[in-house]
Structure 1
Amino acid sequence: MIPDRQIKHHDRERSSWVRLRTLVILRWIAILGQITALVVSVRILGLDLEVGLAAMAIGASIIANLFSTFLYPETKRLSELEAMLMLLFDLLQLCLLLYLTGGLNNPFALLVLAPVTIAATFLRLRDTAILGIITILILTALAAWHIPLRSMAGDVLQMPDLFRFGFWVALVIGVVFLGAYARLITSEIHEMSDALLATQMALAREQKLTDLGGVVAAAAHELGTPLATIKLVSGELLDELGDDPDLADDVRLIGEQANRCTAILRSMGRAGKDDLHMRRVPLEGLLQEAAEPHLMRGKRLEFVISDETEMPARQPIIERRPEIVHGLRNLVQNAVDFSSDKVLIESTWTDKSVSVRISDDGPGYPSAILARIGDPFMRRREDTSRPGYEGMGLGLFIAKTLLERSGARLDFANGGALGGALVAVTWNRDQIDPSKGDRAGGLGENLPFGD
């Protein structure tokens, strides 16, 4: 799982993800649009504009782009301050053009929404708010002070005061609404991205542990024969060297060390799952393994295994997949964290399905977030019955994502067998039981290690 400080670090550095080249391209597009609008206004619409001053404003933007292009590499990432200053420059340049071309009477005043919306997607909230306030102040100033639009005949072109006031209100609302909307959507995307990254890291870690255990188990299996030979030969030598105590001690030491090697390999290979016999485990064994890290945390974990079929049936043999083990482990951890004394882990199965129910005797899930359980980084839990716990959102999201990847369906509720929180995990049996469906069959030949 990604530590909270690492996720916060990613959030702080997200503003540095934007390349200078991206904003430069957007500025070139804006410059092209401004030049086109200026030419059309003068040559086609016949408006009397301050062409020289407007051209200087557009030229300033062109010079800024050229400096940015030639002074910095295309791969340069903008810092928070640099991105803020670039957007502020674009805002001021656009507002200067609006001042020269009628202020809010110019329909292109709508474009002032662009810098604030762009800022909301990658700048921090403080900088976005500052840019938004500056935009609103400039819009207010443009409503009162500007060079009026005139036709070639000298007629002043402007909206009635009521319409101009309504346009100002609409622009202010647009700045606030679009900024907040872009901020919320972008934050949601970033949080989901971080949560999926944490899920992928958790799954990768579990897979590495599984692979390492498999290698150790295979090595232990292959080394068993030579170690047994060493023990046998050392025992025979010990019988023949009974008259030489020094040599007998050395041979005895060889046998002891061979026994020790056997014990070490057996211990290291205990979790090895590369062999198909060990990769497929009974449901009870899988649940025991998932709960093992939490057995000594001072809470009682009770396992109940039952069969819902009418006729006695064998216990399902489950594929020991990393996402299943890690997902169940996270659910058990959450139950242990909030239980008062006891956690109940129940498993049932039929010919069609396999279910696992994990319940605790704690206060249960807060009703305010019960419908949102499984979303990453849930906040505002300070007033709930589970105060002070900051890992539930991400931990349950990881568990839910991993288990759903294996084909499970998760249901969260209160009022389980122990009166507290309850989570039910259900699979179609042919999705996780190799003896069902298309994956049924023998285990195949055990191949020698290293051949």
Structure 2
Amino acid sequence: MDDLARDGHIDLDDAIFTLPPEGLGSAQSALGRTRLRTFITLRWLAVAGQTAAVLFVAFGLGFDMPLALCLSIIAASAWLNVFLSFAFQSQRLTRGWEATLQLAFDTVQLAALIAATGGLSNPFLLLLVAPVTVAALSLSSFRASLIALLALVLAALMPLIHMPLPWGVANSSIALPPLFQLGQFAALAVGVVFFALSAARVSQDEARLVRALDAAGVVMAREQRLSALGAMSAMTTHELGTPLATIHLVAKELQADLDPEDPRAEDIILIAEQADRCRAILATIREAREATDIVHARIPLDALVAEAAAPFKGLGVDLTVRAEPAEDGTPRAPTLKRSPEVLHALGAFIENAVSFADTRVNVVATWTADQIMITISDDGPGFAAEVLPKLGEPYVSQRGEAHLGGGDMGLGFFIAKTLIERTGGRIATRNRTPPKKGAVVQTLWPLGILQAPDLD
């Protein structure tokens, strides 16, 4: 189901969660905010690897190569690391443009080292993929594309500006065929594009997942705050009882000491009466809360479904709610533990069903001796066939052509699915059997997980 409602109705996220923008923006804002220490560490690893490779070729293999030039190029990276280590705190988060400049430097440095050791003939040419991959994982798509384009441009210039490939005989070089060098460039181009797109997709999926989990966390935090308010009210009634008892006691003593004709006696009597009244009010609140806690924590299955569906009645769609036992179910609906997660999830599914239904939405709760199933169906367009296997991922658009834009992550569906699974349930989605049309969402729990314990 798509998160956007039709006909001017508010969307799922606003209707159910009303999440603050800073909560949902955390994953996106994290792109390009890699710690400086990460870049410094990766650069030191590159310096060590490049130095070892150059020294091995020069002294281990005895190849003739521009050793001083290569070590100077490597030293540029080392000096940059030294400068960054002293100029900034290593735990500092880099800004997007700072990370882009650092990765651009790394790309140019690596390209210069490769050009000094053969250019496109150098078998280490594919190492240019490394900074591109890091950029795709840590930067926005635009900045990562700039790093990828820079790597390809530098590689394309190597046939014009490069030194001979190091070889074993002094003052001699090996000239590889132009077709081979073209193949090297083609391999690099394919590698850059493939790794950049793959890494970017992984990074975006992770960011969307974090965003969706962030939203689910906000939902649960709100419920916890409401519970905390209830606990605070109970504590307040308890704490106020002591000073009110003291006031009442002192007023009674003053009343006993004063002459009945004393003009202050009437005020003392009033104070004692009002203290008694406050104590009675607090006692009523405390008793009501204790009774409410017991009642509120338990809810019959039919009442649970009715409560989840109540906000969406009267929206132009015939919303039918019913609860009935299965063949081996008890005649009476089971009493469940009240769960904010279940209420939020069911509300999300019902909201989307109402949003996309043509005329009717059915919510049916059934139970057996050991499980509970709630089925939500509508007569709308149904799920697109290509997205049915992917439903529940936080970035899948859920209603094909019914999607109106602006919510293609399927965030609401993902949150609802996550909440159902957190309570020990499972979820299944399908389309209704033709010629009927519409979507069906079924949630299933073992009865023992949700069933409330018997009252003593």
Q: Deviations over 1:297-332 (max 9, x none)?
A: 454432212112357532111111222122112112
Q: Would you say how many aligned residue pairs link Structure 1 and Structure 2?
A: 412
Cross-structure match for 1:92: 108
Q: Distance in 1 between matches of 2:296 and 2:20?
A: 35
Cross-structure match for 2:455: 443
Cross-structure match for 1:137: 153
Cross-structure match for 2:120: 104
- 1:89 deviates by 0.5
- 1:115 deviates by 0.4
Cross-structure match for 2:26: 10
The reply on whether 1:428 has 2:446 as its aligned counterpart is yes
Q: Structure 1 residues 222, 83: closer, same or farther in 2, change over 3 A?
A: closer
Would you say the 8 A contact 2:24–2:214 is kept in 1? Answer: no
Would you say the 8 A contact 1:363–1:386 is kept in 2? Answer: no
Cross-structure match for 2:320: 302
Cross-structure match for 2:201: 184
Cross-structure match for 2:78: 62
Cross-structure match for 2:190: 173
Cross-structure match for 1:438: none
Cross-structure match for 2:366: 348
Q: Distance in 1 between matches of 2:171 and 2:198?
A: 42
Q: Structure 1 residues 338, 273: closer, same or farther in 2, change over 3 A?
A: farther
Q: Deviations over 1:107-136 (max 9, x none)?
A: 222211100000000111111111111111
- 1:392 deviates by 7.7
Q: Structure 1 residues 386, 160: closer, same or farther in 2, change over 3 A?
A: closer
Q: Deviations over 1:172-213 (max 9, x none)?
A: 110111111111111111111211121122122223334544
- 1:273 deviates by 6.1
1:46 to 62, 66, 81: 62
Q: Deviations over 1:365-403 (max 9, x none)?
A: 33342332222132496x603434727811111111111
Q: Distance in 2 between matches of 1:338 and 1:213?
A: 37
1:322 to 329, 340, 343: 340
Would you say the 8 A contact 1:211–1:273 is kept in 2? Answer: no
1:160 to 147, 152, 177: 177
- 1:160 deviates by 3.2
Q: Distance in 2 between matches of 1:168 and 1:391?
A: 37
Q: Structure 1 residues 379, 127: closer, same or farther in 2, change over 3 A?
A: farther
More off after superposition, 414-423 vs 403-412: 414-423
Would you say the 8 A contact 2:395–2:410 is kept in 1? Answer: yes
Amino acid at match of 2:128: V
1:151 partner SS: coil
- 1:269 deviates by 5.6
Q: Structure 1 residues 344, 124: closer, same or farther in 2, change over 3 A?
A: same
Amino acid at match of 1:167: Q
Q: Distance in 2 between matches of 1:273 and 1:326?
A: 21
Alignment map for 1:241-256 (pairs within 5 Å): none
1:120 to 110, 127, 136: 136
More off after superposition, 81-90 vs 143-152: 143-152
Would you say the 8 A contact 2:397–2:408 is kept in 1? Answer: no
1:327 partner SS: helix
The reply on whether 1:285 has 2:303 as its aligned counterpart is yes
Q: Distance in 2 between matches of 1:374 and 1:400?
A: 6
Q: Structure 1 residues 169, 308: closer, same or farther in 2, change over 3 A?
A: same
Cross-structure match for 2:12: none
Would you say the 8 A contact 1:414–1:421 is kept in 2? Answer: yes
Deviating 4+ runs (over 6 angstroms): 217-224
Amino acid at match of 1:443: L
Q: Distance in 2 between matches of 1:8 and 1:431?
A: 31
Amino acid at match of 2:87: L
Would you say the 8 A contact 1:217–1:274 is kept in 2? Answer: no
Cross-structure match for 1:366: 384
If asked which structure has higher relative contact order (CA below 8 Å, sep 6+), I would say 2
- 1:78 deviates by 0.9
- 1:2 deviates by 7.2
Q: Distance in 2 between matches of 1:36 and 1:312?
A: 75
Would you say the 8 A contact 1:213–1:273 is kept in 2? Answer: no
Amino acid at match of 1:119: A
2:383 partner SS: coil
Q: Distance in 1 between matches of 2:18 and 2:109?
A: 42
Unaligned runs of 5+ in 1: 231-245, 436-441, 445-451
1:335 partner SS: helix
Q: Structure 1 residues 332, 215: closer, same or farther in 2, change over 3 A?
A: farther
What percent identity do the matched residue pairs reach? 33
1:410 to 408, 416, 427: 427
Q: Structure 1 residues 32, 205: closer, same or farther in 2, change over 3 A?
A: same
Superposed CA RMSD in Å reads 3.7
1:209 to 221, 226, 241: 226
Would you say the 8 A contact 2:387–2:397 is kept in 1? Answer: no
* TM-score for both structures, normalised by structure 2: 0.79
Q: Distance in 1 between matches of 2:86 and 2:73?
A: 21
1:76 partner SS: coil
Q: Structure 1 residues 142, 341: closer, same or farther in 2, change over 3 A?
A: same
Unaligned runs of 5+ in 2: 1-16, 249-265
